[in-house]
Amino acid sequence: MIRRHILLALAAGALLLAGCGEIPNGSPGTTTPPPSGVRGTVILGPTCPIGGEPGASDPIPCLTPYVAQLVVVDGQGVAVAQVTSDADGRFEVTLPPGDYVITPTPPASGDLFPIAQPLSVVVIAGEYLEIQINYDTGIR
């Protein structure tokens, strides 16, 4: 009976140790790399006719933040992430280092405007690249 209890205790101890796995010792190669990716702002404009008053020194600010859906495509043409800018036009997406294309989506309504061009970016390890996506309203 005592032998059986000893065997059960040893088996339980072995299972406990096996479940612990390896504990990182702080040696090189065991740390997680710092995050990297892309963050930025989406701008819609112009939101008023271009031109303003003749002789005016400051142009009329005809730009506004824009809520937009962006698709991130890797170097092989595969969509790897999707992000939506907030009400202030801000967005952030964490990505591993590499080459990407940030692809703004067209309006869901099927309209031609607003429209924005894809933007090629290079993400560097441990850094967030700051970009601006400009949606054109078509107003002139």
Give this prediction's pTM: 0.70
Q: Return the pLDDT at 110.
A: 80
- DSSP strand pairing (128-136 vs 37-45): parallel
23 pLDDT above the threshold of 80: no
Both tokens of 136, joined, read 């054109």
Amino acid in the structure at residue 132 = Q
Among candidates 138, 89, 133, which has minimal Cα distance to 112?
A: 138
Compute CA distances 35 → 14, 123, 124, whole Å.
36, 10, 10
* 105-122 pLDDT, tens digit each: 988 888 889 999 999 999
Q: Which tens digit of pLDDT belongs to each residue from 71-106? A: 999 999 999 999 999 999 999 999 999 999 999 998
Q: Residue 90 CB: number of other CB atoms within 10 A?
A: 12
Higher local confidence (pLDDT), 41 or 51: 41
Average confidence score pLDDT of the chain:
81
Domains along the sequence of the chain with CATH: 37-136 (2.60.40.10)
Query: Sheet containing 69-74: which strands, arranged edge to edge?
Result: 79-84, 69-74, 98-104, 119-123
**In this predicted model, which residue has the larger pLDDT, 26 or 124?**
124
Half-sphere exposure of 89 (CA within 13 A, CB side): 16
Write down the pLDDT at residue 52: 55
Q: What is the mean pLDDT of residues 25-30?
A: 54
Give the Cα separation of 14 and 28 in Å (integer).
29
